[in-house]
């Protein structure tokens, strides 16, 4: 029975790896990518599509404390980022808002307004296109967060950048900025009704629960990770950024801790 279970897991992993490679080939073809950039995307897609690592509850309960946040910063510094700034010109950025709610480490999400021409009613992170007045992508993410949900950038501790990813716009790409927002009271946020209809948070413990993740087929012919463990389905680039980041932190932070 044990050998059968082992063989089944091996076959499942083999099929998953093949499926991931085909998926990335479709994505590479769609976005017109070749060479090292396509290889980097394959590596990222496999990272984002992996099952969530087993993370200790003790670590999750303290990961956003003053003593532990430097581990996130260091884990992000060790990433060899996919940087699309030289290949693509239409820049945008989002903030991945790490926070606590009644002391529980969580991530904040927005639900886009139903009246928007694109991504209406979808879950997202605060963010948008980079303005000419923005000094850097961090500025873009913090400015958009203030405009969308009324949370001031001065209260955000920027911990680092995550991998860039192409967007559906021609020459477009998006940079995720990982930031710590401290204790959040959703009732105190001022939403821009033209852009955001709702904000909500999901505890990190729930986000690391493997049973809440699955691969969702897209209309473009490839699959992306998606999360169904909250009040709204989280999918698309939001889930893609989040899944890869969670997997990287879950795998890397214990190694960072062991070196200290």
Residues in the chain: 260
pLDDT at 28: 54
Q: Please write the tens of the pLDDT for every residue from 180-217.
A: 999 999 999 999 999 999 999 999 999 999 999 999 88
Would strands 165-166 and 213-217 be described as parallel, antiparallel, or unpaired?
Answer: unpaired
pLDDT at 32: 55
pLDDT at 224: 85
Q: How many CB atoms within 10 Å of residue 83? A: 14
Summarize the confidence of residues 143-154 as an average pLDDT.
96
pLDDT at 162: 96
State percent of the chain over pLDDT 90: 58
Averaged confidence pLDDT in the chain: 84
pLDDT at 198: 95
Q: Please write the tens of the pLDDT for every residue from 80-101.
A: 998 888 877 788 999 999 999 9
**Banded pLDDT at 165 (limits 50, 70, 90):** confident
Q: Please write the tens of the pLDDT for every residue from 19-68.
A: 455 555 555 555 555 566 676 777 888 888 888 998 888 889 999 999 99
State percent of the chain over pLDDT 70: 80
Q: Check whether 171 has a pLDDT greater than 80.
A: no
**Banded pLDDT at 10 (limits 50, 70, 90):** very low
How far apart (Å, rounded) are the C-alpha atoms in residues 83 and 102? Answer: 36
How far apart (Å, rounded) are the C-alpha atoms in residues 245 and 260? Answer: 22
Judged by average pLDDT, the poorest of 124-133, 180-189, 217-226, 240-249 is: 217-226
């Amino acid at each position: 029975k044990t050998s059968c279970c082992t063989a089944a897991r091996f076959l499942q992993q083999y099929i998953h790896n093949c499926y991931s490679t085909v998926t990335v080939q479709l994505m590479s073809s769609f976005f017109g990518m070749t060479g090292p950039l396509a290889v980097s995307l394959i590596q990222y897609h496999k990272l984002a599509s992996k099952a969530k690592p087993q993370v200790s509850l003790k670590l999750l309960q303290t990961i956003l404390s003053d003593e532990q946040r430097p581990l996130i910063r260091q884990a992000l510094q060790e990433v060899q980022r996919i940087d699309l700034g030289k290949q693509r010109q239409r820049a945008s950025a989002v903030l991945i808002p790490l926070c606590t709610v009644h002391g529980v480490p969580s991530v904040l999400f927005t639900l886009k307004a139903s009246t928007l021409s694109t991504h209406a009613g979808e879950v997202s992170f605060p963010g948008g296109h980079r303005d000419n007045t923005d000094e850097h992508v961090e500025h873009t993410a913090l400015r958009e967060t203030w405009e969308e949900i009324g949370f001031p950038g001065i209260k955000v501790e920027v911990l680092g950048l995550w991998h860039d990813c192409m967007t559906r716009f021609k020459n477009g790409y998006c940079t995720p900025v990982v930031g710590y927002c401290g204790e959040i009271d959703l009732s105190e946020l001022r939403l821009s009704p033209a852009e955001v209809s709702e904000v909500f948070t999901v505890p990190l413990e729930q986000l690391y629960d493997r049973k809440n993740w699955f691969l969702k087929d897209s209309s473009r012919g490839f699959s992306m990770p998606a999360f169904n463990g909250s009040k709204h389905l989280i999918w698309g680039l939001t889930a893609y950024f989040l899944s890869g980041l969670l997997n990287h932190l879950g795998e890397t932070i214990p190694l960072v801790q062991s070196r200290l």
